[in-house]
Structure 1
Amino acid sequence: MDTTADLLKTPLHSLHLELGARMAGFAGYDMPIQYPMGVMKEHIYTRSHAGLFDVSHMGQILIRPKSGDLRDAALALETIAPVDIADLKPGRQRYGLFTNEDGGLEDDFMVANRGDHLYLVVNAACKHADLARIQAALSDSCEIEAQFDRGLIALQGPDAETALSAYAPEAADMLFMDVMVLEIAGVPAVVSRSGYTGEDGYEISLPAEETDRIARLILSDESIAPIGLGARDSLRLEAGLCLYGHDIDETTTPVEANLKWAIQKVRRKGGAREGGFPGAGVILGQFENGATRTRVGLQPTGKAPIRAEVEIFEQETGGEPAGIVTSGGFGPSANAPVAMGYVPAALAATGTRLYAEVRGKRLEITVAALPFVPSNYKR
């Protein structure tokens, strides 16, 4: 286990301590799990007002084509990601995936067309491996710049637009997945209208030395509260969003993970740029023939939360495990326990009754539609 001395610190570390955060190690960083408000109230506050999250542990990577033609960089990135990047318009962002030769997911990420370069945000625990993967595949044709020391904050919730627009009026005109540079109190920031909560909001990339000042400025708005990773997790679970290393990993394919929507038609069989990515044979085969298992929402019948790694059974007694829970907890907005996991395709229909085994007792659960709480993106 990492000791506190071993953990890296984000540019907001001092602010977290000042605000009374309970800190813990996450992906090698000392991160705020919750503040004095507590996870439940932080979750509800984000849905009803807006919260500010420190996500500076995430990895930010820039890719510039040596040719000067961004399409060259996009096509190069498509050799390691089954996503349509070449047709992404300037100022727009989309969800992406890195795959391996078995069709498994090495990471998920966000990629934006910034006009003369691609801007990626990758997961904290995977960022060094992702950087190495990108360098190995793209170094001949692209300049690759890791910006792992930059700050990244997420402003999420219905009051996010009003709060950010007070400093950058153009923020109000942005739509879901727009990306642009906004000046916030004299600081140029790369801002995307996106997030990981299911709520409207923004992710704001800042120079490390300015991150604390801008975060304090945003928090000076009485409608904004600091929110920790505990509420971030419950918010994304209610929104049906995957957590890498839990709901998706190197053993799960995009089809199994119910992420077929993330692979655009142009990269599928018969598309103009069909395949050409690691594991294409496996993944495109599953598009045609289906996968044997799939990620689903799971709604426990009782009030007890069902946690990750709990086994799922088809029968109330006897039989072999049919599936497994990958994320689970109490959903404060749903006012009920919520979970996600993998079950055989034959058992994946909404409403199917199954059983989760907790401490030797099988509890009834039902396959549920995702998300548990409707998203509120500005489209």
Structure 2
Amino acid sequence: MTDATLNPAPADLNVEDAPEGHDEPQLLPLDAWHRARGGRMVAFAGYQMPVQYDGIMAEHLWTRENAGLFDVSHMGQLVLTADAGIDAVAKALEAVLPGDIAGLAENRNRYSLLLNDDGGILDDLMVTRRRNAAGEDELYLVVNGATKYDDIGYLLDVLPDDVTINLQDEQALLAVQGPRAVDAVARLVPGVTALVFMTAGAFEWQGTPLWISRSGYTGEDGFEVSIPAEAAAAFADALCAEPEVKPIGLGARDSLRLEAGLPLYGHDLDPETTLVMADLGFALAKRRREAGDFVGAERILAERADGPAAKRVGLIVTGRQPVREGASVVAEDGAVIGRVTSGGFAPTLGAPIAMAYVPTALAIVGTAVRLVQRGKIHEATVAAMPFVPHRYVRQSTMTGA
């Protein structure tokens, strides 16, 4: 394939988290908003982001019981169009994504993976087919903040030259997550209750256009809202004026997604990991599996048939001390046979949990494993994921539906 077109072109962007010339992390559209509410800011994915407000434990439990507002504006929001039509774009994307993109219905989301030539994961992302205000079909992609510029460069290389990639850096992205998220959002945006998990649509709030999907990365019900950056603070104020909603930082977002058994790119997923190793087989569509017409298919299909050398598993760690990313999984003789990729204390469970890659023979629920962190041995047991059940809404909550 030949080069695609980017609008606007990232001529000044390197392959790192942030643009060249930016020694300091970039600021989110809501940077001042976070600071005014006591957000403790840290550098993450090339941005200053709030890690906590009232404390990670309190914010985690609030989200599980009520609704939390997360600023995820660091994520890359990409819109793909082409002179040849959106079907041509979808088919072209299937060269590097293992999902059924061509068969994606309008206003439907699909989780997928951007693959390299060896089947390794360059990023995980969400794809939605939608129609814009001009009535034109387009594909809307949400990619990870730390990889968005690399993703754009890769797509420029592999997509046909009539494809335009629009990086929507004028848009903020807010996530409202928790069992009472629907109550709060529906008061501001009537009609969102018609959405179900992994569907999306165009809405309006006080004359401001919104793109809302019923999705998120906490395991809870909720929404992700794309909104013009200049309107984000007012919308965030309106959300937090609702009794169910409080601002929540990165710390609780991480502990929530860990309890939900959801992998984080750059930690649990990387270019050396395949979707089979990561236990993400659902992202490989049956049609694509049968055709084998995507990069890395030979390796992925072989691992699916014969089993990978290692597999991502959940772990319940004995005791109270969390085991963190980077700890080793060891055999009885001390040989390193695996690695912990995420770990921490699970507030909902009251126990430490982790994700790790272990030899496939050990990837059986109930298997005892030994971990080493800073020279100290920890005992753990392979556990089913998610650690905390997902609470996605798959049937409309609209009255009478």
Paired residue type of 1:331? A
Q: Report whether the alignment pairs 1:288 with 2:305.
A: yes
Given that 1:181 and 1:191 are in contact with CA atoms closer than 8 Å, whether structure 2 keeps it comes out as yes
Residue in structure 1 matched with residue 186 of structure 2 by the alignment: 165
In the superposition, the TM-score normalised over structure 1's length comes to: 0.95
Q: Report whether the alignment pairs 1:219 with 2:240.
A: yes
Q: Deviations over 1:281-306 (max 9, x none)?
A: 11111111110110000110111111
Residue in structure 2 matched with residue 253 of structure 1 by the alignment: 274
Residue in structure 2 matched with residue 312 of structure 1 by the alignment: 329
Q: Report whether the alignment pairs 1:26 with 2:44.
A: yes
Q: 2:100 aligns with which of 78, 84, 88?
A: 84
Q: Report whether the alignment pairs 1:363 with 2:384.
A: no
Distance in 2 of aligned mates of 1:332 and 1:319: 31
Quote how far apart the aligned CAs of 1:312 are. 0.8
SS in 2 for 1:86: coil
Q: Report whether the alignment pairs 1:12 with 2:30.
A: yes
Distance in 1 of aligned mates of 2:59 and 2:99: 34
SS in 2 for 1:126: helix
Residue in structure 1 matched with residue 283 of structure 2 by the alignment: 262
Paired residue type of 2:322? P
Q: Deviations over 1:17-61 (max 9, x none)?
A: 1001110100110000000x1000000000000000000000000
Q: Report whether the alignment pairs 1:352 with 2:352.
A: no
Q: Percent identity?
A: 48
Quote how far apart the aligned CAs of 1:108 are. 0.4
Given that 2:288 and 2:294 are in contact with CA atoms closer than 8 Å, whether structure 1 keeps it comes out as no
Distance in 2 of aligned mates of 1:5 and 1:14: 20
SS in 1 for 2:123: strand
Distance in 2 of aligned mates of 1:378 and 1:61: 26
Q: How well do the aligned residues superpose, as a CA RMSD in angstroms? A: 1.6
Paired residue type of 1:177? M
Paired residue type of 1:252? T
Q: 2:151 aligns with which of 121, 130, 136?
A: 130
Residue in structure 2 matched with residue 184 of structure 1 by the alignment: 205
Quote how far apart the aligned CAs of 1:5 are. 6.8
Distance in 2 of aligned mates of 1:33 and 1:349: 34
Distance in 1 of aligned mates of 2:87 and 2:261: 32
Given that 1:58 and 1:148 are in contact with CA atoms closer than 8 Å, whether structure 2 keeps it comes out as no
Quote how far apart the aligned CAs of 1:319 are. 3.1
Q: Report whether the alignment pairs 1:329 with 2:344.
A: yes
Q: 1:53 aligns with which of 59, 70, 95?
A: 70
Q: 2:115 aligns with which of 83, 87, 99?
A: 99
Segments of 4+ in structure 1 off by > 3 A? none
Residue in structure 2 matched with residue 111 of structure 1 by the alignment: 127
Given that 1:240 and 1:297 are in contact with CA atoms closer than 8 Å, whether structure 2 keeps it comes out as yes
Worse-matched range after superposition: 190-199 or 276-285? 276-285
Distance in 1 of aligned mates of 2:330 and 2:24: 41
Gaps spanning 5+ residues in structure 2: where?
A: 1-16, 132-136, 395-401
Q: Deviations over 1:169-191 (max 9, x none)?
A: 21111100011011122211110
Quote how far apart the aligned CAs of 1:195 are. 0.2
Paired residue type of 2:351? A
Gaps spanning 5+ residues in structure 1: where?
A: none
Worse-matched range after superposition: 216-225 or 194-203? 216-225
Q: 1:372 aligns with which of 381, 387, 394?
A: 387
Residue in structure 2 matched with residue 154 of structure 1 by the alignment: 175
